[in-house]
């Protein structure tokens, strides 16, 4: 069985794409090689790491990468997780199937620390459900 290559693309590769990479790795197991990148690289958001650890997934060793680092890879799937990334997604040679879902950006959350954490958890839950279903349908 050929391992599929999946790229998750976001604006800054700090939250949503990192969470999606974590869940896709978890659900796909050895059926896919998962990458994430951003139009820019903003570094890993500590709150994204924290809420993923709450769900038993460790993304502390992920890196925040610019999409240009992966131009040489022929992806089977490219998933954009924000409208900005979809609009500015670079051309990838090959026949990658493109998927899009605009998730709310928890890094933009305001309010008390508890309210901000609640927004991270909300976005995490949306991404988890999406990734579970993506793997079920496509791998």
- What is the token pair recorded at 55? 């769900």
Query: Is there a catalytic annotation at residue 82?
Result: yes
Q: Note if 131 is an active site residue.
A: no
- CA–CA dist 40, 55 (Å, integer): 27
Q: Which residues contact 18 (CB under 8 A, 6 or more apart)?
A: 36, 44, 45, 48, 52, 59, 62, 64
The single residue of 82, 107, 127, 131 carrying the catalytic annotation is 82
| Set 6, 10, 19, 24: catalytic member | 10
Is 89 one of the catalytic residues? yes
Q: At which residue do the structure tokens 């500015």 appear?
A: 88
Mind telling me the catalytic residues? Answer: 10, 82, 89
């Amino acid at each position: 069985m050929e391992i599929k290559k999946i790229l998750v693309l976001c604006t800054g590769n700090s939250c949503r794409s990192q969470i999606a990479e974590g869940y896709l790795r978890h659900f796909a197991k050895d059926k896919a090689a998962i990458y994430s990148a951003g139009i820019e690289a903003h570094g890993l958001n500590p709150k994204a790491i924290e809420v993923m650890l709450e769900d038993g997934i460790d993304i502390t060793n992920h890196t925040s990468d610019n999409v240009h680092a992966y131009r040489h890879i022929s992806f089977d799937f490219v998933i954009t997780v924000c409208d900005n990334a979809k609009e500015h997604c670079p051309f990838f040679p090959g026949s990658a199937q493109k998927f899009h879902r605009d998730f709310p950006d928890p890094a933009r959350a305001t309010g008390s620390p508890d309210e901000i954490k609640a927004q991270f958890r909300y976005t995490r839950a949306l991404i988890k459900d999406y990734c579970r279903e993506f793997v079920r349908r496509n791998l």
